[in-house]
Amino acid sequence: MLQVNAGSQRRCIQVVLCITLLSVANTISANQIVQGDGQESLMSPIKISVVTGSQEVSYPAIWGNYVVWKGAENEVYAIDQDALVPMPGLEIDGVPAIWENIVVWEGSRHYYDLETQTLEKMYVNLPVGENPAISNRKIVWDNSIGYFDIDLDTMVNTKDLIVGDSPDIDGDRIVWSGSEGYYDIQKQRMIQPRGLDVGLDPAIHGQKITWSYLKGGYYDLDLETYGHARIITGRHPDIFGNQILWLGGLVGLPGPVAVWEPTCGTQIVDRNDAVNRSQIYDNLVVWDDAGNKSDRLFISQAPGFGPTIKVTTSLDKSVYAMNDVIKIDITAVNHGSEPFTLWFPDSCQVSYRIDGIWYSFEEDWCLHHTTKIEVGPNMSHTWYTGHTLSISMYPNIVFTPGTHSITGVVNGHAESDIVEFEIGPE
């Protein structure tokens, strides 16, 4: 069966950036992801497609044993049963949030208990607002005045708590876009750790906070300092333990689902499916179907083992002027004991991110001649590309003087560390 192993440590063959060659989407049983007694094998994790009874699936959410989504009617996905299970009276017609067995969603005056299969009324003056979040039986949402306490069955208003946009809650800590620190429910006041200035669309779990386009990946509440991961998060990030997840691409368009963790670095779970939201719980990732008004959602084990390569990115210089061309070399080095093969079109194309925005490059000569590239142990292959720092070429992207970052991506699944460069004053 598909298992969620709290606190489990995934294995990597090398302590370098790992690449897991995911298979194409398969409609299969979830118990093929983790087999036998739950011990992880070194086979590639599989992306499974869950066909629901909903006409449109979006904004999936996962916690513990359950996956829920906007559009769910009288059903949820139960991980331990590898199946959709009935939930009479459940109709999720807004963006949901889940914690343990409690589901809440925007526009509702109720929450649903998945264990008792009952719809419970919330005594609130207004329905739950946009972007709800729940933890420790407490619920917040965009611009909520305080929080709703399920045990007290009432809104709790405190003079210091006016929640902003896109809030998240973990235990007794609440953060939101632009919050100067976090709100501590037990202490009933804002806490302002040194240097913490929360950005857009934050997520919090344990002692770590992340948000969209955060260089370094996270803020550590214990150390009161920003992380030193050589990454920049993307949009709609989520965090669980040491794992940080985000969506690539532009807002409103399909993009890749990426996961970073300290041992294996950044890997792409899926290249182009998610558009609204993805979430992570322990070693499982869920996401929607590229905004295609589809009846399905996807689940995968967060990658952390498999054939291993390291990707590096190098530039021709460190300082550029506007309208310069950045010459970018992206190299994949095989640190494993077996060869790995890149088949067309991956043999001919790579991607890169500048300041978190994704771009793709295809070698024209390769498209007509090269169907595969095989890289043996301790061997490498390099792709050569360039990017023009021109506003006219990318009207939606504004390059400004100062420090910028770039990372290279090979096969859609392995990303290099950040390389920084400067744009000089005009």
| The pLDDT value given to residue 340 | 75
Q: pLDDT band at residue 194, thresholds of 50, 70 and 90?
A: very high
| The pLDDT value given to residue 290 | 58
| The pLDDT value given to residue 170 | 97
Instruction: Choose the weakest-confidence range: 59-63, 348-352, 359-363.
Output: 359-363
Strands 419-423, 319-320: parallel, antiparallel or unpaired by DSSP?
parallel
Q: Please determine whether the domains at 30-301 and 310-423 fall in the same fold group of CATH.
A: no
CA separation for the pair 182, 166 (Å, rounded): 13
pLDDT over 50 at 181, yes or no: yes
User: Where would I find the H helices in 333-386?
Assistant: 364-367
- In terms of pLDDT, which residue wins out, 279 or 341? 279
Q: pLDDT band at residue 95, thresholds of 50, 70 and 90?
A: very high
| The pLDDT value given to residue 283 | 81
Token pair listed for 221:
């509440």
CATH hierarchy code of domain 310-423: 2.60.40.10
30-301 homologous superfamily: YVTN repeat-like/Quinoprotein amine dehydrogenase (2.130.10.10)
Each domain of the chain, given as residue ranges in start order, spans: 30-301, 310-423
CA separation for the pair 366, 347 (Å, rounded): 8
Q: pLDDT band at residue 417, thresholds of 50, 70 and 90?
A: confident
| The pLDDT value given to residue 328 | 93
| The pLDDT value given to residue 30 | 42
pLDDT over 60 at 161, yes or no: yes
Q: Which residues contact 350 (CB under 8 A, 6 or more apart)?
A: 330, 360, 361, 383, 385, 408, 409, 410
**Residues in the chain, total:** 426
Other C-beta atoms lying within 10 Å of the C-beta of residue 39: 11
pLDDT over 60 at 17, yes or no: no
pLDDT average, residue stretch 369-397: 77
Instruction: Determine if the peptide bond prior to 345 is cis (ω within 30°).
Output: yes
Q: Name which of 198, 200, 174 is nearest 188 in CA terms.
A: 174
CA separation for the pair 155, 152 (Å, rounded): 8
The whole-angstrom distance between residue 96's C-alpha and the CA centroid of its chain comes to 17
pLDDT over 90 at 123, yes or no: no
CA separation for the pair 49, 178 (Å, rounded): 36
pLDDT in tens, 31-62: 443 332 232 222 234 577 888 888 788 899 99
Global confidence as pTM: 0.70
| The pLDDT value given to residue 270 | 76
The DSSP element (H or E) to which 69 belongs, if any, is strand 66-70
Q: Which residues contact 114 (CB under 8 A, 6 or more apart)?
A: 66, 76, 87, 101, 102, 103
| The pLDDT value given to residue 37 | 29
Instruction: Choose the weakest-confidence range: 125-134, 258-267, 359-368, 407-416.
Output: 359-368
| The pLDDT value given to residue 190 | 93
In this structure, are residues 148 and 122 in contact, taking their beta carbons and an 8 Å threshold? yes
| Alpha-carbon distances of 217 from 242, 312, 389, 417, rounded to whole Å | 10, 19, 25, 12
pLDDT in tens, 301-327: 776 534 467 888 999 999 999 889 999
